[in-house]
Structure 1
Amino acid sequence: MTHAFPCGTLPLDFVGTRRARRNVAPLEKLASPDMLDDWFVEAGMLDLAPGANEADLAIAIELRESIYSLVAARLNDRPLPAEAVAELNLQASGLPVTLRLGPDGLTRTGSVSQGLAALAREAVEILGGDQEALLRECSRPECTQVYLDRSRGHRREWCAMRTCGNRVKAAAYRARQHTVKA
């Protein structure tokens, strides 16, 4: 598996395809059309790769960055950037992914634009609805993954315990051990 899905919310996992945004050289997980195809299949949005090209990739990255800028605005109590709102709404107006029932069950097929439309519609629901209050950014300084905090008490700190949470706790443990030995 090439991509990670720590959030359980596909538009926010999609935003996470650009890792460590504050670093000098962030890690780009959508560096090619094939990687975008892989993301759609690994996310379970489409059963077959949609056959992305360079133009599709550019549109996908523009949508991803629009979603991130809208989430960042919400997290920082700033007005929503008009260009990002326009891009999100444009993409959300696209055709849905095609669902078909067959002898082997459900199949999901579609183009890149159909997959992006599904992501955009879900992002609209998050940013424009009650879930907006649950938006958080991972507390690990090197991580910029955003997620919905559905934890009891809404005190979740990390995008995923198995990655960032473990790293922070392990670093704190090592620091305590170093202090004890010193």
Structure 2
Amino acid sequence: MNLDHVFVCGNPALDFAATLRARRTLRAETLVSPERLDAWYVEAGIVDALSPSGESDVAQAVALREAVYVLVTARRLGESYEAEALATVNGAARKPSATPQLTATGRHTEATAEEALSTVARHAVEVLSGPEVPLLKECGNPECTRVYIDRSRGVRRQWCGMESCGNKLKAAAYRARKKQVQAPAAH
């Protein structure tokens, strides 16, 4: 599987919400097929293997993703939860989740798409009701809409990740400063 999923948010539900990137501008969808959804579950560590998803599973996953994003944004801004988003997350969380099993070689989790999605919903419930709520931040890159848990010392992290956004913004700021210094002074 040659994929580009990024896991920098500090919680699987937040990383799941970030599978629609650049929400304010490009709106780059990463869950474009059942195979991509399945790959996300495996790459995120939600499951080791799962029965293949179908198009309806992708639609349910996108609905949950959007509900998680709405709730995370509301929580981050100190606003009330939207009833429909709350019902979507709670409905998914009520279903059976992926269950790890102990094998001779260690832990192994196989699941259906619905169980994997329920696991993501349960992660959302935990992050939105847990002690790290005050640490929820949106990336400082105006193009990025990832919400992450800022566990940095002093809670001063500005970007979802250095490789994904921090380096780009630092390089742009450096180029802007360099250009300003090289510009001839106007008389």
Question: Aligning the two structures, in what range does the TM-score lie when normalised by the shorter sequence?
Answer: over 0.9
Deviates more, 1:43-52 or 1:109-118: 43-52
Matching residue's letter, 2:159? W
Counterpart CA distance in 2 for 1:50 and 1:9 is 24
Matched-pair contact (CA < 8 Å) for 2:20–2:29 = yes
Q: Equivalent pairs: percent with the same residue?
A: 48
SS of alignment partner, residue 100 of structure 2: strand
Counterpart CA distance in 1 for 2:107 and 2:156 is 37
Q: 4+ residue runs of structure 1 moved beyond 6 angstroms?
A: none
Deviates more, 1:58-67 or 1:125-134: 125-134
Counterpart CA distance in 2 for 1:77 and 1:16 is 20
| Paired position in structure 1 for 2:135 | 134
| Paired position in structure 2 for 1:21 | 23
Deviations 1:89-117 (A, max 9, x none): 11111112122222222111001111111
Matching residue's letter, 1:9? N
Tell me how many residue pairs correspond in the alignment: 181
Counterpart CA distance in 2 for 1:76 and 1:9 is 19
Matched-pair contact (CA < 8 Å) for 1:71–1:127 = yes
Counterpart CA distance in 2 for 1:47 and 1:127 is 25
Query: Which ranges of structure 2 fall in alignment gaps of 5 or more residues?
Result: none
What is the deviation of 1:151?
1.1
| Paired position in structure 2 for 1:45 | 46
Counterpart CA distance in 2 for 1:161 and 1:177 is 21
TM-score w.r.t. the length of structure 1 is 0.95
| Paired position in structure 2 for 1:75 | 76
SS of alignment partner, residue 49 of structure 2: coil
Matched-pair contact (CA < 8 Å) for 2:11–2:127 = no
Counterpart CA distance in 1 for 2:109 and 2:152 is 30
Q: C-alpha root-mean-square deviation of aligned residues, in Å?
A: 1.1
Deviations 1:29-64 (A, max 9, x none): 001111101101111211124300011111000000
What is the deviation of 1:76?
2.0
| Paired position in structure 1 for 2:100 | 99
TM-score w.r.t. the length of structure 2 is 0.93
Counterpart CA distance in 2 for 1:111 and 1:147 is 27
What is the deviation of 1:13?
0.5
SS of alignment partner, residue 130 of structure 1: coil
